[in-house]
Amino acid sequence: MEGRLIATNQLVNRRIKAPQVLLIDHENENRGVIDTREALKIAESAGLDLVVVSDGKEVPVAKILDHGKHQYQQKKRKRQQQHAKPTLKEVRLRPNVGESDYSLRVSRAIEWLEKGNAVKFQVRLRGREHQNRDRAIELLDRIVKDLGDAGNLQSFDKRALIVQMTPS
């Protein structure tokens, strides 16, 4: 659906209403300001499309290229930009977490850090567990030590019992 928006927003071939365009040919050479009809003839002789790439204030910039290929490359760039964003993965633990659960969470965090995501560990205390905050802080210290070679420590909040690790 987004690709359709790109197609309707860009002026191609006969949809260009401007009398003149600043032409860049298929070999990326600037041909200067040329009449739109003449630019269309040049594009047709090359077997390509005339596409407005920048709608300038006075004269729009048009380029001779394969419009379908151009659309595909724009979609591909947009998809890559969406995947490139690092995300923050969150892991919540209790202070008396079992050894198998702990090792599973740490191994998943290592995988996430290797993929380029940041990881946030949070220890949640309930009721009487608040009396043993030092146990939760020891757990966070252990997490930092175990993830030391997979990531860098970004923040260690002993009051909120939160550790954030970023990929190294």
DSSP secondary structure, 33-69, as one string: EEEHHHHHHHHHHHT-EEEEEE--SSS-EEEEE-HHH
Which DSSP helix (H) or strand (E) runs through 151?
strand 151-157
Q: 7 and 58, same structural domain?
A: yes
Same domain, 9 and 49: yes
* Antiparallel, parallel or unpaired: β 88-93 and 61-65: unpaired
Spatial contact of 114 and 154, defined as CB atoms under 8 Å apart:
no
Look at residue 5 in the predicted model and tell me its pLDDT.
41
- Mark which of 55, 82, 109 sits at the end of a domain: 82
Q: Confidence band (pLDDT; 50, 70, 90) for 105?
A: very high
Q: What is the pLDDT of residue 84?
A: 63
User: What is the span of the domain harbouring residue 36?
Assistant: 2-82
CA distances from 59 to 4, 43, 53, 133 (A): 25, 18, 12, 68
In this prediction, residues 76-80 reach a mean pLDDT of 84
Distance of CA 81 to the CA centre of its chain: 3
- pLDDT at position 17: 79
**Please, is 162 exposed, middle or buried when counting C-beta atoms within 10 Å of its C-beta (0-12, 13-18, 19+)?**
middle
Based on the fold, state whether residues 123 and 63 are members of the same structural domain. Answer: no
Residue 18: pLDDT band with limits 50, 70, 90: confident
Is residue 104 pLDDT above 90, yes or no?
A: yes
Query: With bands split at pLDDT 50, 70 and 90, how would you rate the model's confidence at 34?
Result: confident
Same domain, 68 and 138: no
pLDDT(168) > 90:
no
In the chain, % of residues over pLDDT 70: 93
**138 shares its domain with 153:** yes
Using left for φ > 0, alpha for ψ between -120 and 50, and beta otherwise, residue 71 falls in: alpha
Q: Are 99 and 137 in contact (CB under 8 A)?
A: no
Please provide the average confidence, as pLDDT, over all residues in the chain.
84
Same domain, 26 and 53: yes
pLDDT of residue 141: 92
| Cβ–Cβ < 8 Å for 21, 33 | yes
In the predicted structure, residue 4 carries a pLDDT above the cut 50: no
- Residues 7, 73 within the same domain: yes
Query: Does 3 have pLDDT greater than 70?
Result: no
